[in-house]
Amino acid sequence: RLPITFEDVPKTGFFVGRHDEVEILRRARGRVVVVHGIAGIGKTSLLARAFPEAFWYSMNGSESFEYFAWQLSLYLNSLGYRALMEYLRGGGKEEKELFELILEGIDETESVVVIDDLHKCRDETLMRMLSYLAGRLKKGTIAVASRVKPPLGIEGIVYINLGGLKPEEAYELAKKIKKGIPVDEFAEIYRITRGHPLALILLLESPGESSEEARENLFEFLFTEIYRSLTEEEKRMLLMLSIFEGPLEYEAIKALYGGRNTFSVLHSLLRKGLVERRGRQYFIHDMLKGFLREKETPESRTYYLEYAEYLLRKNTPRDFLKAFEYILRAGATGRIRELVELRIRRFKHLPGDFPKTYRMILSHAGDNPYARGELGIIYFNTGFFQKARDTLLEVEDKIEGLFKAEVVSTLADVFLMLENLEMAGRYLQKTRELAENLQDPEVWLWYYMEKTKYEYYRRNLEEALKSAFKELEISRKHGGAPENEGLVLLHIGDIYLDLEQPEEGIKYYEEGLRVAKAYGLTFIEHVTYMELSKTHYILGNYRKAVSYGNRAVEYFLRIKNYRRAVDALAYRCVSWIGLGEAERAEEDARELVRIAHSTGYPLAWAGYIFMGAAKFLKGEDGSGYVEEGRKHLQDYPWLFEAVIQELGRVFEFPEEL
Ligand code: ADP
């Protein structure tokens, strides 16, 4: 039986956005255009909108190519092109001849032929026809909609990968469905749907329904239209991807998926628009994520742990942090100790380099003492000494060995910072005992590092220098992490500076800088800039002092290490004063005062004194500021004196002060 009619183009009614796509489609004369994207994303609506006058053919999957050709011939006939129909009526079945007639018919009538739901097509002839037409069409257009990107090559073909509506377009659609929808409700829906029009409609439609029912509608749509038709392998990969927050790179997917066919499964999901790629990263649509997570199985734990193993093998601080996060997410708190050991051995400076991220991750570790110890180390590294002291004292006796040694040696340092020399001495002694027990060169190194500082604070400079060279000896012999050597060189430079041999100091700092740069030791590199800034200040090279200071200040503020930032700011500030640049000095002084108020770090109060000096420099009365500084530093009279003395190199306060 011959079909006597052909389909109408669907009515679009209310339609939003898609301006660029409509434009591309309307200019596609002589081309085959393929619009691909997941179910309900708006392919049909878009084609109907762009081509209201087209020959429209929806695939249902059971038709033959011949049936399609008959329908098309009817349409072309109605436009006055009869050859195709005559050929078919005469019993013609030659593929090549059919293709030629179709080409001629479409071009002669300048028709637009739309083939909707191409993914349902099972007759290979139709695919061959599309390949044949692509590159040969001149005046006609073929537009195709498909949930799967068809493998048609590139010549003469335009592909449009249809994604969600833009926020403003989606909002327009949402308002049409639900008048006066509050912006926050819309924002939430947009977050889930990412502008997928049908999902948006499903979530907002049917006013009688609860949001729970609306969600069910959406999930049912996702299940029947998207999920059910996937292969078991595709489902497994999608489920696996859905349990991860962020995107994954191919190597990670391969490691996790474990199958030999990772690439082909992933590729198939890509072609179906269920997975997207950005650079080397793959991720799935948020909407699917929510849906798949409903099906989340206890397997997620296994995947998290496997992913963590993958990350640990990559052996970088960032991957380590991510691995830590996933191990905690898998609830494997039993592994915290081992991770902390790894951190101590391989990523010594991680708490200083990534304090915020690390702290956030540790907050999921409950009151595990090893994790609490790490938190204490972070507090110390970010200049919160009281908090560091309290946290470290609390865990000191709950942990052992290497862990205890790190906590104890850090406590020695914390007490030094808190000006409690007696306690610092006691914890130094404890560190020594642990070093003797453990016979771990790392711990010996910590001991000498603390000893150097301790002697240095007590102004036993010769002792300090001896200890520092001991550090250098251990770190070179031990052949351990290059950061140790970088640090030691720094300490030696510091001591020479105090022995009033700044040129000798610069020699060691510059050697340290070379080590830091060669091994990418960012933290040490910037500590060295700070020391070089200070040394050049002392030598009266204020320009150099400022230029080194800039790098240090910028870095330490960025990583929120306020203690170091304050040191660097203070030297930069006095260098500005030395250069007579009152405005710049004032800016730094203000920053110091701001930090003083938020952290209470004593040296930061010197900001008031510097502010006073800057005011005097401008010919104003700065005495009020100096007084304010003196008041804040009343518990640290020696610090006040030291600041005044240091400032004395570049500035003379008026007599009456
Ligand atoms: P697909 O063909 O990709 O499966 P449809 O074109 O059928 O998707 O669109 C799904 C639903 O979303 C339909 O109800 C349609 O009216 C609506 N829709 C899609 N795109 C738009 C748009 N740009 N403006 C308004 N509604 C749209």
Confidence of residue 22 (pLDDT cuts 50, 70, 90): very high
Residue 432 has pLDDT above 80, yes or no: yes
Amino acid at 598: S
**pTM score:** 0.65
| CATH no., domain 230-249+256-295 | 1.10.10
Ligand 1 pocket, residue 247 CB under 6 Å: no
Mean of per-residue pLDDT scores for the chain: 90
* Phi and psi angles of residue 310, each rounded to the nearest 5 degrees, phi first: -55, -45
Report the CATH fold assignment for 362-571: 1.25.40
**What mean pLDDT is predicted for residues 391-400?**
97
High-pLDDT (> 90) share of the chain, %: 60
What's residue 480's pLDDT? 67
Residue 1 has pLDDT above 50, yes or no: no
Ligand 1 pocket, residue 39 CB under 6 Å: yes
What's residue 485's pLDDT? 87
Pocket test for ligand 1, best of 12, 169, 198 (most atoms within 8 A of CB): 198
Spatial separation of the C-alpha atoms in residues 248 and 63, rounded to whole Å: 40
* ipTM of the prediction greater than 0.85, yes or no: yes
Report the CATH fold assignment for 19-161: Rossmann fold (3.40.50)
- C-beta of residue 114 within 8 angstroms of C-beta of residue 8: no
**What mean pLDDT is predicted for residues 284-305?**
77
Output Rg (C-alpha) for the chain, integer angstroms. Answer: 36
| CA 14 to ligand 1: nearest atom | 25
What's residue 476's pLDDT? 85
Domains of the chain, residue spans: 19-161, 167-227, 230-249+256-295, 362-571, 572-647
What's residue 153's pLDDT? 80
Ligand 1 pocket, residue 173 CB under 6 Å: yes
| Alpha carbon of 45 to ligand 1 centroid (Å) | 5
| CA 145 to ligand 1: nearest atom | 2
Ligand 1 pocket, residue 612 CB under 6 Å: no
What's residue 468's pLDDT? 92
Ligand 1 pocket, residue 48 CB under 6 Å: no
CA distances from 319 to 211, 220, 309, 366, 569 (A): 39, 38, 10, 22, 32
What's residue 551's pLDDT? 97
Ligand 1 pocket, residue 273 CB under 6 Å: no
Ligand 1 pocket, residue 16 CB under 6 Å: yes
| Alpha carbon of 158 to ligand 1 centroid (Å) | 21
pLDDT digits (tens, 9 = 90+) for 199-244: 888 888 765 566 677 777 777 778 877 888 889 899 889 888 888 8
pLDDT digits (tens, 9 = 90+) for 329-355: 999 999 999 999 999 989 988 998 888
